Amino acid sequence: MRKLVSASSREIVAERKNQRYVTERKPLCEDLTIFSVLIFLSVSMFLYVPDLVAEYAAHMQWNLPENAKARLGKGGLSGDIAYSPDGTLFAVVSFIGIWLYDAETGEEQAVFIADENDVAGIAFSPDGAKLAIALFKHNFVQLWDVETGLIETTFLGYGGGTTCVAFSPDGAKLICGSWGGTVQLWDVSTREIIETLIIGDNGEAHTEGTRAVTTVSFSPDGTLLAVGSNDGTVQLWDVGTREPTATLQHDSSIMSVVFNPDGNILAVGSEDGKVSLWDMRKGVLKSDFVAHQRVSSLAFSPDGKTLASGGSRFISDKDRVRLWDVASGELKSNLIGHTDDVDSIVFSPDGTTLVSSSRAGNIVRFFDVASGELKFNLTGYFSSIDNIIFSPDGQTLVSSSGTEGRDATVQLWDVGTGTPKAHLSACKQIVYNASVPGGVPLVGCFNSETGLELYDVVTGDLKTTFSESEWVLSVALSPDSKILATASGLGDSTVRLWDVETGTLTTGLWHKEVVNGVVFSPDNTKLAIRSWDGNVVYLWDSNTHQPIGTLKQRTRLVSMVFSPDGRTLVCSSVNSMVYLWDVGTRELIRTLQQDNSSIHDDSIISVAFSPDGRTLACGTDYNGISLWNVESGTLKSTFVGQGYVKSVVFSPDGSLLASGSDDGTILFWELVPEFGKQTPLPADVNEDGAVNIQD
């Protein structure tokens, strides 16, 4: 077994030095407008099963942050893909970095961790030994050793975020384009910059870059460089003299430029859906045609006879990946399989396979070019993990993804193995979750035609329909599973209470402001309602439907949760503060804030109590989770390495913390015993934490 050592660019950004992580590497050989919410209906069919033995696949434990024990999901697809020159490896860019696969089997080989959702483009060196990674926000290009997984060097960008990268055919030069309108030419061996090319208005070179570079390509002989920009121009440069030689004008932003194998034709794909074929010998337009509503990517077959185009649908879902005859410009065939826009396509070096990726669909598809048949898919990508919840027995984790309508999925995971068990595909937009200890997982989908629909996640059966006619921002299920509270968001400031069994409306709680958060207390007596402006929480009696009081802060409140005993309400905020209120007196008990740390420099998006109520987990929108002692208000520990933590939840026994992130991954964090159940006192027969007459 060969060892592959990977490095994390998060560490490179923070410390500007290589960090080594060792991983194992195998040998190289329904149109609904809907919202949803995860809900656990309280029933007694589940019994808690402790001491779950975890057996995770190797790739789930590669390059994990410290204290994490497994990663579920591979992050959202970022778009770019690439074959290694020998065709044995295939690289896929996700929100967490670059995944390497065996190109024949689709098996994971390694993951290189990069900064969250920052990789704008990748390119293999011609010998396959190096992988160049363009990082947009940090504005540099990293050069990775494919065999060892180490970052060899970093090329600093110029003029805005780095947007694209490419090697010269001989591998001696590296180019990177920028959002600021520049192209940098680097010497790979000396790591020295050769020239910075300024791309100006209408393709005319001058001293200040004013147009974003979107795509670059070397001619096969390495003498010419094509630079596409968002002003609709493709500028051609002589690599030897570093002077512009011609400008090719188009009607919209340039999305892709690629030379055919002999360098006589340059194909240009633009945002208006056109493909233009330019004759490089004569310097004239050979032909053009409309391929898609929007062209995202182009690729020539190795023999140069076929041009593949990928983009958004033109007439139907069947035309997202299309093959064109280069000589005649006629359509040869469509490769059918994608139901969402395609962002990147590439031929295998032998021309037998075409691979396409879709960010919206979070899927990579391998097609047989000759037959047009689908060979296999690369899956496990999620655009965002918005909500997570454990089943009462602790053996299943349910996650929801896709609040922005991308990859809207309700997924069930086996906690012991980290593998997907089942998913519900009926919901296309998924938001906010509520939970009740003990129960069957349900998902609520908002259908603009019928209202809010509750589905059994396991069976996919529709359970109840509520005639909710407004856009739902938040829902909550009462602990006795009898009442569902919904908060609507289109100018409606009413919280509606529904009978879960019959689906009928029981009452409405009117507010002056639009409501975007609701949660029941564990004893079923109170309902906390957070206003749209976010700095006020209203407490209502859930039985009498009368207001109890308000909790106010000067800053916007983001997330709220009751303690397991219902005595404390916790609210997080955008100013890195966490507020704990006494529900009975409505007095502020304490404020939690971690000083001098990046963990709490930003908004605290999610909060969760441990089952015993002694620990509070807080997830931020930047890079971590903090764990607090609720009684003392002191910080216990911090977990870093996962960006924008949108949901945190403890396992039923308190031994495991799960966190769902905007990067499309779920991390399992193993907790020390003190985070779990309190060890009973020797004489504490009923294990209520006290020795008294009841024992």
Residue-range domain boundaries for the chain: 80-378, 558-678
Predicted local distance difference test score (pLDDT) of residue 458: 66
Amino acid at 463: K
Tens digits of per-residue pLDDT, 280-289?
999 899 999 9
- Spatial separation of the C-alpha atoms in residues 441 and 603, rounded to whole Å: 29
Residue 530: pLDDT over 60: yes
Could you tell me the strand order of the sheet in which 344-347 lies?
344-347, 353-358, 363-368, 374-378
Residue 269 near residue 309, CB atoms below 8 Å: yes
Neighbours of 601 (CB within 10 A): 14
Q: Which residue has the higher pLDDT, 444 or 625?
A: 625
Predicted local distance difference test score (pLDDT) of residue 91: 98
Predicted local distance difference test score (pLDDT) of residue 489: 62
The percent of residues above 70 in pLDDT, for the chain, comes to 79
- Eight-class DSSP state of 9: H
Q: Which residue has the higher pLDDT, 52 or 140?
A: 140
- Eight-class DSSP state of 688: S
- Spatial separation of the C-alpha atoms in residues 195 and 192, rounded to whole Å: 9
Domains 80-378 and 558-678 share a fold: yes
The alpha-carbon radius of gyration of the chain (Å, integer) is 28
Predicted local distance difference test score (pLDDT) of residue 398: 87
Query: 3-state class of 60 per DSSP?
Result: helix
Q: Which residues contact 468 (CB under 8 A, 6 or more apart)?
A: 446, 451, 452, 486, 488, 496, 498
Q: Which residue has the higher pLDDT, 554 or 263?
A: 263
- Spatial separation of the C-alpha atoms in residues 342 and 358, rounded to whole Å: 4
Amino acid at 88: T
Question: Over the chain, what is the mean pLDDT?
Answer: 82
Residue 590: pLDDT over 70: yes
- Spatial separation of the C-alpha atoms in residues 505 and 484, rounded to whole Å: 9
Q: Which two tokens stand for residue 515?
A: 């409501």
**Stretch 81-88: mean pLDDT:** 98
Residue 457: pLDDT over 80: no
Predicted local distance difference test score (pLDDT) of residue 117: 64
Tens digits of per-residue pLDDT, 55-68?
899 999 999 999 99
Could you tell me the strand order of the sheet in which 420-424 lies?
387-390, 396-401, 409-414, 420-424
**Stretch 21-30: mean pLDDT:** 33
Q: Which residues contact 16 (CB under 8 A, 6 or more apart)?
A: 154
Predicted local distance difference test score (pLDDT) of residue 220: 98
- Spatial separation of the C-alpha atoms in residues 445 and 466, rounded to whole Å: 10
Tens digits of per-residue pLDDT, 477-526?
888 888 888 887 655 678 889 998 899 999 888 776 778 789 999 999 99
Query: 3-state class of 319 per DSSP?
Result: helix
- Spatial separation of the C-alpha atoms in residues 470 and 294, rounded to whole Å: 33
Superfamily of domain 80-378: YVTN repeat-like/Quinoprotein amine dehydrogenase (2.130.10.10)
Superfamily of domain 558-678: YVTN repeat-like/Quinoprotein amine dehydrogenase (2.130.10.10)
Q: Which two tokens stand for residue 326?
A: 């280069």
Residue 321 sits at the vertex; the CA angle it makes with 316 and 327, to the nearest 5 degrees, is 115
Nearest to 653 by CA among 611, 688, 618: 611
Neighbours of 44 (CB within 10 A): 8
**Stretch 273-299: mean pLDDT:** 95
Q: Is the dihedral of CA 31, 34, 38, 41 positive or negative?
A: negative
pTM: 0.86
Helix, strand, coil share of the chain (percent; to 5): 5, 50, 50
Q: Lowest-pLDDT range, 18-22, 493-497, 553-557, 678-682?
A: 18-22
